Structure 1
Amino acid sequence: MSETMKLKRATYHLWTFTISKLIASFGAQVYAFAVSFYILQLTGSATSFATNLICSILPRTLVAPFAGYVADRYSRKTIVITAQIASTLAIGGLLAVSVASGISLVAIYITTAILAVTSTFSGVTFSSSITGLVDEARIQKAMSLNQMSISFAAIGSPAIAGVLYGTVTMPVFLMMYMSASMIAVLLESTMNFKLFARRKEVVEGEPKESMLQSMKAGLSYLRLQPVVMAIIWISLFINFLFGAFMVGYSFILIEKMKMAPEHFGFTEGAFAVGMLLMSIYLSIRKEVKFPLLVGKRGIIGMSLIMSGIAFPLIIAMPYPGMVVYYATLMFSFGLIQIIVNTPMMVMMQKMIDDDYKGRVFSILETMAMALMPLGMVLYGFLYDVLPAQWILIVSSLLLIGVVLVLARPSVVRMAHPELDKTKILKTKMVQEQ
């Protein structure tokens, strides 16, 4: 295939990938909204609601390492399509149960667990396939469009789900989600996952690695990539320490500040709008030159925003000013999160060998998913026994300390050796003047 044809095909992939992810994100979020409402209306039990969340988080944590092995070992296109078909069949199964005998909690829990497994396989494999689907120059554009689709879904799905939930029955809901999932399968089947791939060909007669050997090889590869290891450790600490934000934000605004639900929704919407605008900006601008340096500064900014949530607890604010303050804070948080995530993911896409991407991304997902519930449980306990403002301030200071240590100047220079050249050039220019 000629280079021009490959670039045209990559452009097609950009938009097919974005539309597919948009459909999948919309469907998943609308389903989550509907099922959450249904469980709470049916049982009125927080325990039943939490059980459904566990059915979503636990399977992802358990299967992510296997998803990485499979993504590196087998055809990525086959995995993505199989995962999407399995999602469609899971929704179809829940639909059949609901028509035959009415939806039960057990049926919902099983479906949620299956969807968690399929989305893990699909997500890890898609993350591993970006450099095979699009040319290197447009990796940032692809990652930004992916974030845009997630942001669109975050903004639009609650409103659409709310309208649909009040007007259609649960079986109709499920039929719509099933139809959307089938469209995603059709779109994904037209994509060439090997267009720019640089994976090693399997040699006939060569002994095959076992799953355990493959995972060990992935860990050994990571040990030889100090910059990637630093990014993974930073991600782990962010996921753990941001439990202070994830638990504390709702607790402070709803319980402490007595904010009305519509105003609370407005502040959360500001976060999604910030993400969307920054994703659009990054999709049209040149690639970020020093992503680890930008990410380091961005995480410090996110830490300061996290401590800023405590400000109205220390100094009283009028109610309208408080709503505007938190909306501005969340909008800024959405902007900075994309500034941190997208360039860092682009850098990892370029640094990690195609043959190891599945295992590296699955290790990242496993460890992040494992620490997230732990952080939320710990901070849930801390918010019950300690002043909220000090939890947020101490957590933000810890996060700043972690980033300054793990992304210290020597690590940043290792990731971006050209920084030294830029400094030497600037010094020469100053001396000449």
Structure 2
Amino acid sequence: MMSIITDHQSNVQLVKDFVSNFVSAFCGNMFSIAMGLMLLHETGLSISFGLSMIIVPLVDILGLIPIGNLVDRYRHKPILVINFGVRIGALIGYMLIINQFNGTDRLMPTLIFLIINYTTVSINNSGYQASVHELVNEAHIQKLNALSQSATSMAIIFSPLIAAPLYVILGFKTFLKFELIANLFALIVLGTMRFNEKKTLATNENRKRPMVLFKEGVSFLMTRRELSAFAIGEMVINVTAPLINIGIPFMVVHHLHADNLTLGIFESAIAVGLVIGNFVLTLVPTIKRIDWTTIGGLSAFSMATIIVGVIFNLHWDLSRLRIVGSVVLILMGISLAILNTPMATYIQKTVPTKLLGRVSMTLTTLDMAVMPLGTVGYTVVFQQFANGLIYVFSGSLLMIYTGYFWRQLAAVFPAKKQLDQVNQVKAKS
């Protein structure tokens, strides 16, 4: 039996989770930037800043079955503690050997370290997603997700401002130390967090083959029409992600011929929007109508995408471009927060705890698997046709998909509501 988690205990867990996530994300982002700069300096290869875009999807695909089953088989806190130990060990090993390599020879030890690191990140993310019911009570799940996203977004805003100047002054070795301290800090915070842990799978469940356990998670996902719709919706959003992380830098520099300050303002604006959106979600009650919320978020994101395309084609002066563009991108960030956080909360509340690791890992892998497709596709399009019409066209397609998505959810949620009413009547009788 799991004891009841009080509101006070939940609030304490929220603070610990926020602080740990912010420190980890802040130092992790600085470390990634410093590593990219180091590799670019040593190798001269443009791929220096794009290794994660190759490794992360590969790790998620290969780890889909073992990681999901691992998280659902065993207690979460020991998994997370051991996982941190592996990451810290890999980081120490990398610190000890990296200076023994020079030039392009540094790529191999870096690749090995990144594979281990991103594997631990995948386990960590799945473990935490499956642990929400052990960390906070149901009323605080939305706050937990929103604060976690806020911490990550705040780190995205501030870490680039500090990483590049510090790298010039301190060098890569100092960033290795920062990352080690951040991971040790996160491990200490994790040790103080109280996991109201569930039991491991029953003996007969543990005897099942990994593929059988994995299929159970996939089968559950496919039988829940709203979860399947959410999965496809997330994949569609991730396919269009290069509009932000590739398209905006390319359009600002090559199409608008604006300066780096404008690019920095635009990139920070999206993160500011994510922080604002998630902060609002920590203050409002748990969202009941997930269908209306996701449709509203997707519609707002689609409209913001279209407006960004129009702005890019107007060729305004820098002042007007910065002001109007940043406002629209802040609204885009808010719409992403409203779209993603309530959806994650709904999944965590409705998927049985014993399946949550496998389901969340499957959803994450699907999301990451489509990102390279969008990256390659939009890279080619922007290279051949650098124009704001790319955003207008993409946003219009998203609006059309939003209509289809709305029909899918409208067919599911009324039926689900009726089923809930029938179950309530049965329970009373």
**TM value normalised by structure 1:** 0.89
Match of 1:159, SS state, is helix
Q: Tell me the distance in 1 between the aligned counterparts of 2:136 and 2:174.
A: 37
Q: How does 1:188-337 map to 2 (within 5 A)?
A: 188-194=190-196, 197=198, 202-204=201-203, 208-337=207-336
Q: Does 1:169 align with 2:171?
A: yes
Residues 2 and 307 (structure 1), Cα distance of their counterparts in 2 relative to 1, 3 Å cut: closer
Percent of aligned positions that are identical: 24
- Cα distance in 2, alignment partners of residues 385 and 141 from structure 1: 43
CA apart distance, 1:387: 5.6
CA gap 1:419/1:264 in 2 versus in 1, 3 angstroms: farther
Work out whether residues 274 and 335 of structure 1, in 8 Å CA contact, stay in contact via their aligned partners in 2: yes
- The one-letter code matched in structure 2 to 1:381 is V
Distance (whole Å) between structure 2 residues aligned to residue 12 and residue 289 of structure 1: 25
Q: Check if 1:23 corresponds to 2:23.
A: yes
Secondary structure at the aligned position of 2:388 is classed as helix
**Hey, what does 2:412 align to over in structure 1?**
411
Q: Structure 2 matches for 1:31-430, cutoff 5 A?
A: 31-51=31-51, 53-98=53-98, 104-194=106-196, 197=198, 202-204=201-203, 208-386=207-385, 388-408=387-407, 409-414=410-415
Does structure 2 retain, via aligned residues, the 8 Å contact 1:140–1:343?
Answer: yes
- Counterpart CA distance in 2 for 1:214 and 1:406 is 30
Instruction: Decide which moves more: 120-129 or 151-160.
Output: 151-160
Q: Give the conservation status (yes or no) of the 8 Å contact 2:310–2:389.
A: no
Answer yes or no: is the 8 Å Cα contact 1:295–1:344 preserved in 2: yes
How far the C-alpha of 1:6 sits from its partner, in A, is 4.2
Q: When the two structures are aligned, how many residues end up with a matched partner?
A: 417
Alignment CA distance shift 1:244-1:158 (3 Å): closer
| Alpha-carbon distance in 2 for matches of 1:38, 1:79 | 32
Q: Which residue identity does 2:412 align to in structure 1?
A: V
Classify 1:245/1:178 alpha carbon distance in 2 versus 1 (closer, same or farther; 3 Å). closer
Change (3 A) 1:151 1:50: closer
Q: Name whichever of 56-65 and 151-160 sits farther off.
A: 56-65
In structure 1, the residue corresponding to 2:316 is in which secondary structure? Answer: coil
Q: Is the 8 A contact 2:255 2:386 kept in 1?
A: no
The amino acid that maps onto 1:345 is A
Residue 299 of structure 2 contacts residue 402 of structure 2 at CA under 8 Å; is this kept in 1? yes
Q: Residue 169 and residue 253 in structure 1: after superposition, are their counterparts in 2 closer, same or farther (change >3 A)?
A: closer
Judge conservation of contact 1:227–1:414 (CA < 8 Å) in 2.
Answer: no
Cα displacement (A) at 1:50:
3.4
Q: After superposition, give the CA deviation of every residue in 1:26-59 in whole Å (9 maximum; x if it has no partner).
A: 1221111101111122222214443454234422
Paired letter, 2:144: A
Alignment check: 8 A CA contact 1:292 1:415 kept: no
Alignment gaps of 5+ in structure 1: 421-433
Q: 1:425 — aligned with what? A: none
Further displaced range: 60-69 or 95-104: 95-104
Deviations 1:351-396 (A, max 9, x none): 1110111111111111111101111101111223346333322222
Q: Tell me whether 41-50 or 230-239 shows the greater mean CA deviation.
A: 41-50
TM-score, normalising length from structure 2? Answer: 0.90
Deviations 1:279-327 (A, max 9, x none): 2222122222312211111111101111112113443322221121211
Contact 2:201 2:354 in 1 (8 A): no
CA distance in 1, matches of 2:386, 2:153: 33
Alpha carbon RMSD of aligned pairs, Å?
Answer: 2.5
Bigger mean CA deviation after superposition, 393-402 or 135-144: 393-402
